[in-house]
Amino acid sequence: MSQDQEHFRDSIGTINDEGKRAWVFPKKPSGKFYRYRKHVSYLLLTTLVAGPFLKINGNQFFMFNVLERRFNIFGFPFWPQDFHLVVISMIIGVIFVALFTVAYGRIFCGWMCPQTIFMEMVFRRIEYWIEGDRGAQIKLDRQPWNAEKVQKRVLKWILFFIISFLIANVFLAYLIGSDRLLRYISEGPFDHLSTMLSLLIFTGVFYFVFAWFREQVCIIACPYGRMQGVLLDEKSVVVAYDHKRGEAEKGRKKFRKNEDRKSLGFGDCIDCFQCVNVCPTGIDIRNGTQLECVNCTACIDECDTIMEKVNLPKGLIRYASEANIEKKEKFRFTPRLKGYTAVLTILTGILLGMLFLRNDVEANILRLPGQLYEHKENNIISNVYTYKLVNKTIKDIDNVGFKLISHKGKINLVSNNKFTVPAQDLAEGTLFIEIDQAAIKSDKEKIKIGVYSGDQLIETTSTAFLGPRSYK
């Protein structure tokens, strides 16, 4: 590629020669991949909107209450005591992102990213409905502010604001819980002015992003696009232009009927610019893999449509790696992709297994700081402890008590020997453990304690028991 042909590298596609924002008016996409994307997007949109309102066993399906440190993931409640699971999930997440990007490129961006889904499947579709396709939008943008333009723009902005407000409410439901949100709504905004103010701020942010900032999120703000440049290699599967086929010996050429392009040395690309017109980030995919490309497949559908019209083979733009294009090989599920997929599946399985094997009750019994053991009559050694029990379930745990498992002895609670741990709450108090000195083998004995609900063992924990030092 000559230096003149690489001028696109000198600037961002959404900035014009004057340094101002070059507004992108993408053509309405259509085709096989777009239909698949719509199905996936509607499923994810439904999940995203319904997530905080669905409940499993009384627990919100998703909740990320950072302020109160309460989290629900897939209906499982998480407490600060489960922080190790968060750390492990973050490690798995980093590895997953790295391997996924290396193997499959930025498929996530085009198919599953909330920014892309809301932008392309909600806000742009409203825009197409009100203002028309690419040509009509450009015409409307250039015409003066007459009655038609005011009517269409105001209607669009009002709908954008309403949808942004609804998205902000859903976002708030993830943060504070759907039950509390619905209660706030029923009580009215004047009783919760601070919450209403926060809601309006989030509404403004979402409106700004989807009404004005748009593709700049992917180009400027999103860190994943930056990671792409590091993680992708010649074997990564991306939306790619087959330059070997498209350029041939003499490059691109406009289509003419009854012309033998192959014998003349011209490639299959007819230079129609439809792949550029349909791109939501305004790039030319024929320049190769770029930061702005989100792998949305709109250019694939559009190019396949054009190729079909001019009786040329489809797949000039397709999912492929640079290695596939250079070697003119069809895409295949290579051992490398199989290996990465296997690792991703195993990591996901480990995380899910840890979630399902998580204890419903967390027990911590610690010696009271600054207290030594007490030597009672009949050679009984007593230690004082504080206990904390966390109930992670949605049901009260009744008739809770403690028993020594590793040693013979007694456990006496300061209050009642039996108590109740409320649902999704904790119980704490003080207890004494008494063990015969003859059963103690060291001055710092490790003992195992069982937590029982009635006669049912619900959790075990261990702690240290101090006793007299032996000089034998």
pLDDT tier at 64 (50, 70, 90 boundaries)?
A: confident
Residues 27 and 171 in one domain: yes
Residues 110 and 60 in one domain: yes
Q: What is the mean pLDDT of the chain?
A: 87
Residues 220 and 274 in one domain: no
Residues 400 and 428 in one domain: yes
Residues 284 and 207 in one domain: no
Is 345 within the bounds of a domain? no
Phi, psi of 314 (to 5 degrees): -70, 175
Residues 36 and 126 in one domain: yes
- Tell me, what's the pLDDT at 250? 87
Give the residue numbers spanning the domain of 45: 4-231
Q: How far apart are alpha carbons 430 and 363 in whole angstroms? A: 13
Query: Domain ends where: 328, 351, 369?
Result: 328
Query: Domain ends where: 231, 260, 288?
Result: 231
Is 51 within the bounds of a domain? yes
Residues 268 and 321 in one domain: yes
- Tell me, what's the pLDDT at 7? 62
Residues 315 and 367 in one domain: no
pLDDT tier at 471 (50, 70, 90 boundaries)?
A: low
- Tell me, what's the pLDDT at 233? 79
pLDDT tier at 350 (50, 70, 90 boundaries)?
A: confident
Is 472 within the bounds of a domain? no
Residues 127 and 193 in one domain: yes
Residues 125 and 27 in one domain: yes
Segment 442-452 shows an average pLDDT of 90
Residues 185 and 63 in one domain: yes
Is 286 within the bounds of a domain? yes
- Residue-wise pLDDT tens digits, 68-90: 777 888 777 777 777 777 777 77
- Tell me, what's the pLDDT at 15? 77
Query: Domain ends where: 177, 201, 231?
Result: 231
Q: What's the total number of domains in the chain?
A: 3
Is 128 within the bounds of a domain? yes
Is 342 within the bounds of a domain? no
Is 76 within the bounds of a domain? yes
- Tell me, what's the pLDDT at 6? 61
- Tell me, what's the pLDDT at 1? 43
Residues 225 and 266 in one domain: no
Percent of the chain with pLDDT over 70: 96
- Residue-wise pLDDT tens digits, 161-191: 999 999 999 999 999 999 999 999 999 988 8
Q: In CATH, what number is assigned to the domain containing residue 444?
A: 2.60.40.10
Is 352 within the bounds of a domain? no
